[in-house]
Structure 1
């Protein structure tokens, strides 16, 4: 998997189908879409199981990309079958990664993500998932969040959905900082929105827990893309210093106040902030990046 974290939000939209010989209406996936490319092999489909479902049992598959034959019959659920329980057992790319434990699909993310690994091998990544409508009354969506770091997807019950990518941009032999990010520190990050998904207030802070390499300074950036080069990171970091968005790090395990994220306006579509943490050795900079996407649930 490499050292860089990776993520994907996979949206599976489901439409109604019926036929002359069908006694119950069913909802079935009509397409699946990955909103970000993975840095490892692309996900092709997801496998799971039915429990206590009308007219359904055993295993299902739902396609994310490609046209290779699925492992199991396509996912479908009888309309309004609120007692039906779905769970993810495997994520399939070029190889099949098995969930431990099996990842249940409910209306909120699980309290802890599941680990995924090739059979007999160590953990390759972590994932969490949820349904937007567990009653199956109408079209529904499955959201899957994946990362190399469990803290990245351990989002819990929050007012806005956090999808975080941690990565590195390294110059020469300078290794970047290796903090661990958390939104649930002493003062958890909280976003209040109104009915139009417009930000009303942002309080709390983001916590960075020290690793073996700490940084001296960080910048909050709103311009970087998902996979920036070292040169692009350096430009954004310098612009942050010039623009007054840089902050010195003093003491262990620093906190980043919510006000420094400058979150305003609508979160109906994702708003991205990248925290760039620098470490200087002999005048050469190494960077650690935390790319955070804020979006209303």
Structure 2
């Protein structure tokens, strides 16, 4: 199933019937009547209710669980905690004397709490709570799906993409960035750059990051020469650094995108070296007494630069 099919399923799921397991307490017929009425007052989004008196039979993949506080010989808190760990929405229903148990259930991870109403309208209130709880869960799942897609996108990029705090902590590193350390992203994220880089590079990058935050604007470094003592691969990089507002942290963060431009850099300098030798050869040919051996030597050197055979073409010019 491709990502477009996944998205279609998510959009369709919003209007699908909500499957509710209703765990009846020891209160008898009142809970059964509420469970039956819940289906009838569901509104635009149907609610399919399956009643049970056995809370331990509730599956961790249930769509939503409604649990009364007075369960048969089972502590509701333990039931709620298990389901909350599985990200199952749990709505607790209690009678006027059950507020302590309901409060403990909320602390254990219950999504919402409904007090049984003497006017018999508990089901209508409950239907609203169930719809809201399931919608929040679907929103989380949709967001998680979107985050996974974005993660696949950045991990497929050849450029190094990373987010870092001013303290040097990596909050996000893609596959290409982590490979610079010979590691996977999980082994880099949550760690500080001074755990991987020598002090001079750490200080240099920190100054750049501070400048980005202080100026509140992007920093472009067309050619950054890196003497990589981590994996022993010297290279030339083009770097963009941008201030980044991360909603998951109050810290100032910088988003950095780094492209390896070593090949283009060397090609440009090879061509520049070739052009210089050709100009010298032309000058020699235009002289009153041209030195043909010198001209041939210059043209041979130009050829070496152009095709990359000359060691003189490697490194800063």
Q: Which has the higher contact order (CA 8 A, sep 6+)?
A: 1
TM over 0.5: no
> TM-score, with normalisation over the residues of structure 2?
0.26
**Greater C-alpha Rg:** 2
